[in-house]
Amino acid sequence: MNGTAYFGGLIGRVANRIANARFTLDGKAYRLVPNDGNNTLHGGYRGFDKVIWTVEQHVAGSGSPFITFYYHSFDGEQGFPGDVDVHVTYQLSSPHVLSVRMNATAWGKATPVNLAHHAYWNLDGHGSGSVLGEEVRLFASRYTPVDAALIPTGRLAPVAGTPYDFRTPAAVGSRIGGLLSRGVNGYDINYVVDGGGLRPVAVVRDGASGRVMELWADQPGVQFYTANGLSGVRGKGGKVYGHYGALCLETQGFPDAVNRPSFPSQIVRPGKVYRHDMVFKFSF
C-alpha cells in the first residue's frame, strides 16, 4: 500500500502526471495532492491502486472466467472534482488472452478521467534479470517530448531518427544508449499510437523463452517504461527485481492533457461514461 512502483495497479483517477498538481476546469481552479515533486502522479498519494475495491461479480470455471471490481471515488478525493463510479473487468479467454475493460461514470461535476493498467512484464519470467534483450515493436510514429520533470512540452514529435523509434522490432537495449548519453536513465515516455479504435499497440518477444505478447487497446497513447526506478525490490517468491527488470506498456490518454487543450480531452461530463479497453494476447 505504501509502495511507489504501482505493481499491477489500476491507476486513477488520472494516470501519469499533472503539472504543478493543478488545473482549471469550467473556470474553476483545482489544487491536487502533489506526490512527484510539485506534480501529481497516478492520482496522488492515495490513487486508485491504493484503495479497497469491491468484487461486484465473478464467474469461475467457465470457458471465459472473469471478475469485475467496483470503486466509488468521492468528490474532492485527492483534489479531483465530482463523484465517479469505476468498474474494471478482467477476463481470460482462449487461446491465452487477457482482456481488461474499464469504465467510469462521472456524477455531479465534470472531471478528468484517465485510467491505466500498470502491469510489469518480463516474458522470460519474473526475477530473471534485465529485459534489455527483449524485442519490442510499437505501433507509434510520434511521441510526446517531456521536460526534466517528465511533463510533456506540448509537442508531438516524430520518432524517426531518435532512440524512441520502435516502429520495426528492436531489442529494448539496442537504442537505450542514446538516452543514457543525454542523462536519461531509460524509457519513460508517452507514445502517440497510430490509428484509432481498438488497434495494435505493441508486440513484445522474448527470444530465450519464445514467448510473445501482443497488446491491443483503444486509447490515444501508451507509456513505455523500462522499470528505471526499480532497485533491489523484493517481489513474489523472494525474487529481487532490479534496474530494467521489467517493462510497462500503459495505454492511456496523454500526460497532463488537462492542462494541454491541444491534447485529446480527458474531461468526462456528469452522466457520461469514460471507457478504456485493452487486450493482451500471448503465444509460445
Q: Is residue 3 part of a domain?
A: no
Give how many domains the chain has, as a whole number. 1
Please list the alpha-helical segments (H only) found in the chain.
Answer: 176-180
The answer to the question of whether 17 is labelled as a binding residue is yes
Whole-angstrom distance, CA of residue 172 vs CA of residue 169 = 9
> Could you say which of 42, 117, 134, 250 is catalytic?
250
3-state secondary structure of 101: strand
Whole-angstrom distance, CA of residue 253 vs CA of residue 79 = 20
The residues facing 240 across adjacent strands are: 234
CB-based contact 116:11 (threshold 8 Å): yes
CB-based contact 15:250 (threshold 8 Å): yes
Whole-angstrom distance, CA of residue 98 vs CA of residue 84 = 25
Q: What is the pLDDT of residues 80-124, one digit of tens each?
A: 999 999 999 999 998 899 999 999 999 999 999 999 999 999 999
227: cell is 522499470
Residue 214 known to be catalytic: no
Domain residue limits at 138: 9-283
Q: Is residue 153 part of a domain?
A: yes
26: cell is 469550467
Whole-angstrom distance, CA of residue 48 vs CA of residue 62 = 29
User: Residue 143: which of 68, 223, 88 has the closest Cα?
Assistant: 223
The answer to the question of whether 118 is labelled as a binding residue is yes
CB-based contact 216:190 (threshold 8 Å): no
CB-based contact 121:247 (threshold 8 Å): yes
Q: Is residue 228 part of a domain?
A: yes
pLDDT reported for residue 4: 80
Q: Is residue 161 part of a domain?
A: yes
pLDDT reported for residue 40: 99
Q: What angle do CA 241, 246, 252 make, to 5 degrees?
A: 130
Question: Across all residues in the chain, what is the average pLDDT?
Answer: 96
Q: Is residue 4 part of a domain?
A: no
Q: Is residue 117 part of a domain?
A: yes
pLDDT reported for residue 1: 57
3-state secondary structure of 226: coil
CATH number of residue 266's parent domain: 2.70.98.10
Q: pTM, whole model, 2 decimals?
A: 0.96
Q: Is residue 213 part of a domain?
A: yes
What amino acid is encoded at 177 in this protein? Answer: G
Residue 72 known to be catalytic: no
Q: How far from chain centre, in Å, is Cα 242?
A: 20
Beta pairing class for 17-18 and 9-11: unpaired
3-state secondary structure of 129: coil
The answer to the question of whether 188 is labelled as a binding residue is yes
Whole-angstrom distance, CA of residue 191 vs CA of residue 144 = 6
> Could you say which of 42, 117, 118, 276 is catalytic?
118
CB-based contact 276:115 (threshold 8 Å): yes
CB-based contact 115:217 (threshold 8 Å): no
The answer to the question of whether 119 is labelled as a binding residue is yes
| Residues of the chain falling short of pLDDT 70 | 1-2
Beta pairing class for 17-18 and 66-73: unpaired
